Amino acid sequence: MYQQVRNIFGEVSQSVIKKTDSLTFIPTDPDNIDYQEYLAWLAEGNEPLPADDPS
Amino acid sequence: MSKIVADNISPRGSDVTIAGVGTFSSSGVNLTGVVTATSFVGDVTGNATGLSGSPTLSGITSVSTTNLTVNGNAYPNGGPLSNRNLIINGAMQVAQRGTSSTSSDFRTVDRFYYNFGNTLAGTQSQQTLSSGTPYNEGFRNFYRFAISTPGSATSTYCQLIQGIEAQNLATSGWQYTSADSDITVSFWVRSSVAQTFYGALKSSDGTAQNYVFSFALSADTWTKVTKTIPGNTNVQIDNDNGQGAQLIIYPFMGTNYSDSSVNVDAWQAYSGSTRIPDMATDWVLTNGATFDVTGVQLEVGSVATPFEHRSYGDEFQRCCRYYQRLEGRSGQDGDICISAFYTTTNAYGPIYFPNGNMRTYPTVNIIDNAITFYYPGNADASLGFFVGGIHLERIALNVQNVSGSAGDSGFLRLLTSADVFEFSAEL
């Protein structure tokens, strides 16, 4: 499972996605194999959890 | 008579024989003693055999041969004369993540991974080599998979893989689309169970192509496997930082992934359900069975030259293009990144990768056992983390759940070896 994250400015990050079961941050980079896995997960019809509310 | 002077000696038969010296005939000269001359003129053809002593050959500007062996060492017939091995960490020296794991994929030895599952359970580990032929050739480590729960004949998979960066293959000198250009794989392998196993070179760009080869092992016996693989017009390797090919060694693949129709020693389009021919199940059904590999080399040309031993430091740096880590150390200062408070609850700062740029933007994994953030007069644990930006050489780290004043600075301490920042850009 994945979750969107907010950057320090409170905006939903367009460059990083987070795994929900760990402190694992994945760049939205097509050459990154974890991002490739995320894209395959999206292609199966899944959607990431929305980012937590800004603190 | 002390001397015969003649301008022309005509044999009575076909030969002229001088007793104690040799025979002269139309097919050649056959002498029984030593030949001494100031020079020889003309081509030397045929095989020169029986050379002994210390003959000195000079003036030779070119030697052309398919397989040249000197003192038992094979010499290359293609590719460069250094940095020949396209495999990284082929001697299994570097294991940044650890030396033993019961999990699949990247867990122990760098750049390689055992991918296994579907009822099969076991331990992958970096092992120490203490004797045997590979030991005598300079190897001190090998990579092992040991079965703790045997698999099934149909669905189990267990494969040892290294992905090779495409640009390293594209610029290697292997003319991968030509059947007249070769690349050669070699490795040492040992199984506790006698059986025929398989390996493959699988291209990754375009329509994936698969070249399968087999090797038979006797139980508990280190065996050197060599296989020369020609290019093929269907192979595509891009000049980029993606995966160009995988070298795969198969301890086992169930029939869900194999088929008796798959040809060995030939290129064919890759299919996940027909990767290799059907395998015997002796190894995978044996509890406690082991499979060991070291000395993996992939080089341009048709000759398997001696393994290119590289220093630990050299291999370590090569591995760090794909994986790096920052790890704490109990009782020691250090492992600190300076961070500045952006707000009263958020600190922010960069962490640069300790060993240079990575292959691509890496995945960042933070293992927080007791990471502590120190700043004037305080120390916060139970932190939150957010990675705001990931670059080739650094990340921007946001440390949350701190309580300071905007503009203060502080530092992050990884207090034990269980506190880790991992950066992974594996293929």
Identify whether residues B158 and B241 lie together within a single domain.
yes
- Higher-pLDDT residue of B32 and B170 is B170
Amino acid A15: pLDDT:
94
In a domain, B109, yes or no: yes
pLDDT band at B1 (very low <50, low <70, confident <90, very high): low
In a domain, B87, yes or no: no
- Identify the domain containing residue B267 by its residue range: 100-319
In a domain, B415, yes or no: yes
Amino acid A55: pLDDT:
60
Cα distance between residue B144 and residue A2, in whole Å: 33
Cβ-based contacts of B348 with chain A (< 8 Å):
8
Identify whether residues B51 and B169 lie together within a single domain.
no
Identify whether residues B181 and B280 lie together within a single domain.
yes
Identify whether residues B109 and B242 lie together within a single domain.
yes
Identify whether residues B286 and B358 lie together within a single domain.
no
In a domain, B218, yes or no: yes
| Domains: count for chain B | 3
Q: What is the CATH number of the domain that holds B229?
A: 2.60.120.260
Q: Is the pLDDT of residue B361 over 80?
A: yes
Q: Indicate the pTM of the whole model.
A: 0.89
In a domain, B89, yes or no: no
Phi, psi (rounded to 5 degrees) for B167: -65, -25
In a domain, B92, yes or no: no
Interface test with A, best of B325, B361, B422 (most A CBs within 10 A): B361
Amino acid B233: pLDDT:
98
Identify whether residues B315 and B328 lie together within a single domain.
no
Identify whether residues B264 and B370 lie together within a single domain.
no
Q: Is the pLDDT of residue B335 over 70?
A: no
In a domain, B11, yes or no: no
Identify whether residues B299 and B182 lie together within a single domain.
yes
The interface pTM score, or ipTM, of the predicted complex is 0.96
- Best mean pLDDT range from B8-12, B213-217, B373-377, B398-402: B213-217
- CA angle centred on B304, ends B301 and B307, rounded to 5°: 120
Identify whether residues B282 and B356 lie together within a single domain.
no
Identify whether residues B125 and B246 lie together within a single domain.
yes
Q: Could you tell me if B340 and B111 are in contact, meaning their C-beta atoms sit under 8 angstroms apart? A: no
Please state, rounded to an integer, the average pLDDT across all residues of chain B: 92
How confident is the model over B242-288, as pLDDT tens digits? 999 999 999 999 999 999 999 999 999 999 999 999 999 999 999 99
Three-class SS state of B417: coil
Identify whether residues B221 and B131 lie together within a single domain.
yes
Q: B216 CA to chain A: closest CA distance, Å?
A: 33
Q: What is the CATH number of the domain that holds B408?
A: 2.60.40
Q: Among B286, B319, B352, which residue terminates a domain? A: B319
pLDDT band at A46 (very low <50, low <70, confident <90, very high): very high
Q: Could you tell me if A19 and A13 are in contact, meaning their C-beta atoms sit under 8 angstroms apart? A: no
A27:B424 CB<8 A = no
B426 reaches A (C-beta below 8 A): yes
**Over residues A34-46, mean pLDDT:** 98
A32:B427 CB<8 A = no
Amino acid B210: pLDDT:
98
Identify whether residues B122 and B244 lie together within a single domain.
yes
DSSP state string for B78-90:
SS-SSS---SSST
In a domain, B83, yes or no: no
Q: A39 CA to chain B: closest CA distance, Å?
A: 14
